[in-house]
Amino acid sequence: MKKTLICAIALCALITLIYPATDVVAEDDWKSLKQESKRMKIDETADETLKTLFADDSKAAALYDNSYGWAVFDNLKLAFGFSGGGGQGVAVVRESGKRTYMKMGTAGVGLGLGANKYQIVFLFQDSQTFNNFVEKGWQADAGATAAAGTHAAEAKTDFTNGLAIYQLTEKGLMANVDIAGTKYWKNDNLN
């Protein structure tokens, strides 16, 4: 038991040393931004994420063209046995361009160690699915997964329950990414 505790403390210290200080500085920079600047940064990240997704997956672009709306979230998740994270995003009605700024939070238990920065893209098939997501918030349960990656994206040609979900990391699209334990809600400060 003592040996496990010592290993856990050593791993924590190692993560602290390895974890880039730039993310801490980025968080301080985010807090100092004014509301309009935060909205602009969220919009810029969303646009870049969609461009990357469509360049990597033409079928996602086709789903987007047939969607009622979309949402993109920029997330940071930390794990050390327990995991947690959060991020900011925007949900957009595709035809009108109406934007709703949102937050997300995630928590979990399981094997995991380290930090992961990623973006989630939601494509909504219809107004009901979109409005439920924006107005009521949404919580991913244990069965929710993001279908993407080379093989999974080729197989995914339509919406599932009015929704298509993709996760992008610096390493590219990830197949069957678990997003369980994640909640999305309106950001009252930015709307």
Predicted confidence at residue 30, as pLDDT, reads 54
Contacts of residue 171, defined as CB under 8 A and 6 or more positions apart, other chains included, come to: none
Q: What digits encode the pLDDT tens for the residues 69-117?
A: 999 999 987 777 677 889 999 999 999 999 999 999 988 766 666 777 8
What stretches in the chain show pLDDT beneath 70?
1-32, 81, 109-113, 140-157, 171-180
What letter represents residue 116's amino acid?
N
Predicted confidence at residue 174, as pLDDT, reads 45
Strand 99-124 with 163-169, pairing: antiparallel
